[in-house]
Structures are given as C-alpha cells and as structure tokens.
Amino acid sequence: MTSTPPRVLTVAGSDSGGGAGIQADLKTMLALGVHGMSVIAAVTAQNSLGVQGYWELPAEAVRAQLDSVLGDIGVQAVKTGMLASPTLVETVAGALASVAAPVVVDPVGVSKHGDSLLAPEAVETMKELLLPVATVVTPNLWEVEQLTSVKVEDEDDLPRAAEAVLALGPTWALIKGGHLPGEPVDLLTDGDRRYRFAAERHDNRHTHGTGCTLASAIASRLALGDDLPEAVRQAKEYVTGAIAHGFPLGAGIGPVDHAWRWRTGG
C-alpha cells in the first residue's frame, strides 16, 4: 500500500508570475518530498518587473479553507507568508493557535521589487497575535526593522535583532542576513542556543522567491522529522542551490529554480 507523505500547509498569497508565494511554496514542498496544501489569502498581479496590484480574499474564505484542510486532512507543519491585512492576520492566527504542528512564519512585508504586501496597520496585529504562535519566524533585515525598529548593519547586530524578535513571542528566530555585505549569514536562536548558517554568495540577480522558498523548505524538513536547526541547515542548502540556478524570466528579476536538484541531479 502506498504511504501518504508528510503534509505541509502554506497560508499565503498567489504570485501570478510563479516565482514566489503559494506557487513557490508548493514547488518547494514537492521538491522536498512532502504533500503541499494551500490556503490562499490574497491574489497578486505580479511578474518579473514587480507587483501591479493585490486583492485580499474575504476572511470567511480564508477561514473556510483553513477549516477544510485542518479538519479533514491535518498537517505536520504550517508555513505562513503574505497575509496582507489585520483581519487576515487575526483570522490565520486564531486558526493556528490550536494547531499542534510546528508553524513557520515568514513575516512578508515587501516584495523583492520593493512593493508593499502588508498594510502598515497589520504589523501590530502580526506582532500581537501571529508571532506568539510561531515555532520560528524568518524575517529579513527590512522585516526585522519593520517589526522591532532594530536596524542591522553588520553581522554583529544579528544577535540584538534576534533578541528583539524573540521578545514578540516566537519560540525561535531566524534572522536572515542575506542583504549584508559579504557571505550570506543567517542566525538562528531560541534565546539560549545559537546557530550560525553561512553560505556562498552567488552572482545571480534572479532571486525572486527566496524568502518564501526558505520558509517552505524549513516547514517541509520539520514535517519530515528534522529538529529545527537541522531543518534550517537543510533548507539553507536547498535555497542556496536554487539561487545558484536562478534563471531569467521576463524583463526583470527571474525566480530561483525550485527544481534545481532534478535538473542537475544534485
């Protein structure tokens, strides 16, 4: 009898260009061997040049999707991404508060092109309701500043940023230092233990979807049974390869290659 793979749910926005959001999440989950499921919270009109617009789904539609999946199928891990508004953040946080599976929160605030994907008034709701239910939150440096007002200028600032994020309630914080000069270094900590993850920097501008992909890869590895530090290590390795094989698409920034291991045999 065929066994059912681990189940991972993404709650995020749709990217019509296919490089980020729900589309990146499901591609990542398939590449890592889990069954991906989706709750669409918003729809974007988006391509390689940027985000031309986005539309939130009604809260009742998001809640119905959550109830449908959680009530029948269940999950081994959850990843959240673009939630757009205070109402949607509150809806998702309420549903996930009773979920026993690990929750990976990617606090999406802005797109790769600099387009806002989170209403300013939703930041406080995210801090108050969503981050306390997170197993791990994965902000980039801009999102750290948005959430905590801590500005990171070099690797020495990462611990201070992590402490500020942990004060908002997640069990772990993964501060992504990819926008710092030098090698991309991420810091994972629960306040007691610290793990430093470094990687080679690839000279490739086609990096659309990196944040979504990393968070989904962490959730996938957690569903497969890794502890969090190992899940992050495996996810970082997968994303680094995806960045190295990112490809041009349209006239702007192309996506990372979620299928790089299949294409290269890596």
- Catalytic residue set: 176, 207, 209-212
Exposure string (b/e) for 109-138, b if CB count within 10 Å is 16 or more?
bbbbeeeebbbeebbebbbebbbebbbbbb
Residue 110 DSSP label: B
CB atoms within 10 A of CB 266: 11
Exposure string (b/e) for 197-218, b if CB count within 10 Å is 16 or more?
bebeebeeebbbbbbbbbbbbb
Distance from C-alpha of 195 to C-alpha of 132, rounded to nearest angstrom: 21
